[in-house]
Chains A and B, each alone.
Chain A
Amino acid sequence: AQKITQTQPGMFVQEKEAVTLDCTYDTSDQSYGLFWYKQPSSGEMIFLIYQGSYDEQNATEGRYSLNFQKARKSANLVISASQLGDSAMYFCAMREGLFGSARQLTFGSGTQLTVLP
């Protein structure tokens, strides 16, 4: 089974509007972390936001917020007031286990977001 599922291969949003990128995850661990990364056409992976499984409040970072619904195992990214520079590929990722030796990130297939002027 897929550990991270992103069901939207492509999304369009009008400039200045909000957009939600969907992510569901599957794990039997109680301790885990959820991440969102942005990858512009230049290729670098830019960290956006992190949510730990024990965090009671949804994470926010500027225009980014993570809508964490633990019971539904979803971790949707909300971008408010979209800008043209937000056009990029967005990846949801999960780290199972919060502490200890190397813990790799497991990634979803990504959502290509295009912001329209």
Chain B
Amino acid sequence: DVKVTQSSRYLVKRTGEKVFLECVQDMDHENMFWYRQDPGLGLRLIYFSYDVKMKEKGDIPEGYSVSREKKERFSLILESASTNQTSMYLCASSLRDNNYGYTFGSGTRLTVV
């Protein structure tokens, strides 16, 4: 019954590496989101997408990019990983006009060393 799948639960990467975090949803949702979660800060929006090949910056896009080539897949890219990008990353999706149908993945805990 898994609906939003994040490819890795835990990742350890080295500083300067290019990192890909993958998210796939099987609910035919138009909207997809990437958040990062840090203690005391809650969830902060990095990027979101409301359609294939469309993307919008969130509150903290610096150091990140995204790709949405297919409706079901939304990738978060760390171009050159840094230690301050060590965090929990959560992907979510929703229907375009659904007021409350947000579904989250189980998260990827990324550590950059």
Given contacts A44-B105, A47-B102, A102-B56, 16 further A-B contacts (CB under 8 A): A33-B99, A35-B100, A35-B102, A43-B109, A45-B104, A98-B99, A100-B97, A101-B31, A102-B30, A102-B96, A103-B31, A104-B33, A104-B48, A105-B92, A106-B45, A108-B42
Residues A110 and B42 in contact in the complex (CB < 8 Å), given A44-B106, A100-B97, A101-B96? yes
Asked if A60 CB lies within 8 Å of chain B CBs, one says no
Pair B49/A102 contact, Cβ less than 8 Å: yes
A10-54 contacts to B, CB under 8 A, are 33, 35, 37, 42-45, 47, 50, 52
Residues A44 and B43 in contact in the complex (CB < 8 Å), given A35-B100, A50-B100? no
Interface size on B, residues (CB 8 A): 29
Taking Cβ atoms with an 8 Å cutoff, the residues of B that contact A are: 30-31, 33, 35, 40-45, 48-50, 56, 58, 88, 90, 92, 94, 96-97, 99-100, 102, 104-107, 109
Pair B48/A52 contact, Cβ less than 8 Å: no
Instruction: Tell me the dominant secondary structure on chain A's binding face.
Output: loop
Separation of A100 and B95 alpha carbons in the complex (Å): 10
Separation of A22 and B76 alpha carbons in the complex (Å): 33
Give every chain A residue within 8 A of B94 (Cβ-Cβ): 102
User: Most chain-B CB neighbours within 10 Å: which of A33, A93, A110?
Assistant: A110
